[in-house]
Amino acid sequence: MISRRSIWSEGKLIPVLSIIGFIVIIWYGFSIVLNAPWEYDKAKRSSITLSNVELISNTWSQKRPKLPAPHQITNEIWDTTVNKKVTSKRSLVYHGLITFYETIYGFIFGTCLGILLAIGIVYNRATAMSVMPWIITSQTIPILAIAPMIVVALGSAGFNGLMPIAIISMYLSFFPVVVGMVKGLKSPDQLEIDQMKTWSASKFQVLHKLRAPRSMPFFFTSLKLGMAASLVGAIVGELPSGGGGGLGFRMLSGSTFGNTLHIWSGLISAAVLAGTLIAIIGGIQKVVLKRMSLEM
């Protein structure tokens, strides 16, 4: 049995919940403060005096609040997922699916590219010396910032729809995979590689039977990072794509029309999407590593 004391001094659930609760309370407070001027203004124009209770309930139910209260956002999400048809452009599921596909395509391409580059770097010193510095430099270029331009350029070259955005996601997600896999493929020590040599294993066999299995823990960690990066790439890539759709598009249109509820619901669903995808990878990681008896 868990005693009362140990709940407070160990474990994460209670601290996490209490901090989230604290954030929600602060959030409600701020939405009063930030939305109140508009209410005062409105009351002044129609010359009514607001009681405090009225003021507070009004600030929590504005149509275009500066900071929507948490329940407004949950209502909005509920309304646009459950009460709207999935195929409708007003449905959050529709936009979420578009973003999901872009993320997954970019993630798969990026992972493949990353693994190939990592194998090249581990097996060929010339590749390692000439390409590795550029891979690192490539990430100091704020590619996200130029993502819109890539979308426009590829669009004018005849690539439309998912592909340009998937390419941006790929560019962002290959980097963690390369770095992680190089570390992982290099993790067997010299002794083990020598052992493979005494068995006269070919280069491919060393990769297949020693290096690849040994890199699995690194592989999954980089997959999680790559997935997060890929989703960010998809969202930013959607910004200039105009009528395309997707969570990023919804946030941009919310920002242009001052519809804060759209921005917040888009933001929250992006976070939920990221959390789900990362949790799925985490689940696969647990199963695979357990089967390989490589538990962390």
Give the footprint of other proteins on this chain (CB under 8 A). Answer: 8-9, 11-12, 14-20, 34, 66, 125-126, 128-134, 137, 139-142, 144-146, 148-149, 152-153, 156-157, 224-225, 228, 231-232, 235-236, 239-240, 247-248, 251-252, 254-255, 258, 260, 263-264, 266-267, 270-271, 274-275, 278
Nearer to other proteins, 210 or 237 (CB): 237
Provide the token pair at 132. 């590795």
DSSP letters for 207-273 = IIIIIHHHTHHHHHHHHHHHHHHHHHHHHHHHTTSGGG-SHHHHHHHHHHTT-HHHHHHHHHHHHHH
How far is residue 68's CA from residue 79's CA, in Å, rounded to a whole number?
15
Provide the token pair at 253. 């249109």
Nearer to other proteins, 20 or 112 (CB): 20
Nearer to other proteins, 210 or 221 (CB): 221
Q: Work out how close the CB of 286 gets to other proteins at its nearest, in angstroms, rounded to a whole number.
A: 17
Sign, CA dihedral 279-282-288-290, equals negative
Nearer to other proteins, 6 or 195 (CB): 6
CB of 98 closer than 8 Å to CB of 66? no
CB of 211 closer than 8 Å to CB of 183? no
Q: Work out how close the CB of 144 gets to other proteins at its nearest, in angstroms, rounded to a whole number.
A: 5
Q: Phi, psi at residue 65, to the nearest 5°?
A: -75, 155
Q: Work out how close the CB of 151 gets to other proteins at its nearest, in angstroms, rounded to a whole number.
A: 9
DSSP state of 187: -
Nearer to other proteins, 64 or 201 (CB): 64
How far is residue 253's CA from residue 247's CA, in Å, rounded to a whole number?
10
Measure Cα distances from 212 to 183, 188, 203, 205 in Å.
11, 10, 12, 10
Nearer to other proteins, 87 or 256 (CB): 256
Q: Work out how close the CB of 153 gets to other proteins at its nearest, in angstroms, rounded to a whole number.
A: 5
Q: Work out how close the CB of 225 gets to other proteins at its nearest, in angstroms, rounded to a whole number.
A: 8
